[in-house]
Amino acid sequence: MGIILYLVLLFIWGLVVGGLARLALPGPDPMSIPMTAAIGVLGSWIGGLVMWAITGDHAAAGLFVSFIFAVLLVYLVRRHRGQGLWSTRRPPTQTRF
């Protein structure tokens, strides 16, 4: 029961952090709920690693650091899709169809 509860809480934490990161950048982000949670969990993990490397404390990263790295990941996902920070739509020459 402990591992299931941990995974559920990890998913909820990722959903909160990923949702805040998506709200921080203007424009539409066509991501699913699991992808939003994955962005949040990955942002928290990367933020924890960076803060551990800087401070040496395993509990130094909090909501703010997780949020910053999740926003960076959302921006990188947008860049991968052909969008920018201000232009959230692809140019007509880069469409798939």
Secondary structure (3-state) at 96: coil
pLDDT exceeds cutoff 60 at 97:
no
pLDDT (mean) for 42-66: 86
Q: What are 62's two structure tokens?
A: 């909090």
Q: 53 vs 5, 49, 65, 71, CA distance in Å?
A: 28, 6, 13, 20
**pLDDT, averaged across the chain:** 84
pLDDT (mean) for 66-82: 88
Q: Rounded CA gap, 49 and 96, in Å?
A: 37
Which range scores top for mean pLDDT: 31-45, 55-69, 78-92? 31-45
Alpha-helical segments (H) within 25-90:
33-55, 63-80
Check residue 17 and give its pLDDT: 94
Q: Where are the domains of the chain?
A: 2-24+31-90
Q: What does the chain come to in residues?
A: 97
pLDDT exceeds cutoff 60 at 54:
yes
Q: Rounded CA gap, 5 and 45, in Å?
A: 18
